């Protein structure tokens, strides 16, 4: 049986490395949205704020992912005004769901396949959309990621796969 040389970690809150890794992924989640917001509706289409949360949580565990998931949207809102403060609860919900799902999948399966990443992305999007629907009271608005963000979800799946399996190998 061939074993993967990709390593997965489960960092803990009492490790300094957890905060350093999370800080790096937060920086990624600060820079990537700035790039995509140069195009009209780029954030809504490409969903860049979730990318490094997915990669960080999958590669380094749900705790590093959770730090990234919470800090990234708040830092982006404070520094750049995007996402808008009104959108923060829904984005934070989806980010936290993503971090937990990605960390769980990596710990459970010890691999990052396209199917697993697709399941993680669908999980956080479906539950996040349901939660957002409860928050805003409008399914059409809550389903914006499914109406506009499919390209971003595909980037998360395929780009996440490449980052986890081929770029961040150790």
What whole-number distance in Å separates Cα of residue 104 and Cα of residue 40? 34
What whole-number distance in Å separates Cα of residue 151 and Cα of residue 86? 24
In the prediction, which pLDDT does 38 show? 95
**What does pTM read for this prediction?**
0.96
In the prediction, which pLDDT does 1 show? 40
Q: For residue 94, give the nearest of 63, 65, 116, 64 by alpha carbon.
A: 65
Overall residue count recorded for the chain in this entry: 170
- pLDDT, the chain, mean: 96
- Cβ neighbours around 116 below 10 Å, total: 21
| Share above pLDDT 70 across residues of the chain, in percent, rounded to a whole number | 96
What whole-number distance in Å separates Cα of residue 12 and Cα of residue 18? 6
Q: Residue 136: how many CA atoms within 13 Å on its side-chain side?
A: 19
Q: For residue 111, give the nearest of 21, 11, 1, 7 by alpha carbon.
A: 7
What whole-number distance in Å separates Cα of residue 65 and Cα of residue 73? 13
Give the tens place of pLDDT for each residue, 77-107. Answer: 999 999 999 999 999 999 999 999 999 999 9
What whole-number distance in Å separates Cα of residue 10 and Cα of residue 91? 24
In the prediction, which pLDDT does 65 show? 98
Give the tens place of pLDDT for each residue, 8-55. Answer: 999 999 999 999 999 999 999 999 999 999 999 999 999 999 999 999
Checking if the pLDDT of 169 tops 90, the result is no
Distance of CA 63 to the CA centre of its chain: 13
Domains of the chain, each with CATH number or no CATH = 16-167 (1.10.1760)
CB 128 within 8 Å of CB 81: no
What whole-number distance in Å separates Cα of residue 60 and Cα of residue 69? 13
End-to-end CA distance of the chain: 21
Residue 133, token pair as written in the block: 């629907």
């Amino acid at each position: 049986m061939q074993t993967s040389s990709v390593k997965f970690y489960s960092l803990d809150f009492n490790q300094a490395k957890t905060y350093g890794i999370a800080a790096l992924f937060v920086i990624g989640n600060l820079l990537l949205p700035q790039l995509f917001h140069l195009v009209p509706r780029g954030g809504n289409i490409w969903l860049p704020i979730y990318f490094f949360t997915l990669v960080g949580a999958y590669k380094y565990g749900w705790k590093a992912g959770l730090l990234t998931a919470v800090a990234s949207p708040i830092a982006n809102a404070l520094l750049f005004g995007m996402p808008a403060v009104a959108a923060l609860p829904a984005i934070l919900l989806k980010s936290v769901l993503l971090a937990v799902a990605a960390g769980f999948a990596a710990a459970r399966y010890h691999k990052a396949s396209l199917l697993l990443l697709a399941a993680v992305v669908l999980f956080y999007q479906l539950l996040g959309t349901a939660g957002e629907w409860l928050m805003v009271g409008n399914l059409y608005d809550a389903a914006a990621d499914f109406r506009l963000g499919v390209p971003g979800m595909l980037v998360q799946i395929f780009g996440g796969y490449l980052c986890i399996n081929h770029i961040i190998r150790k």
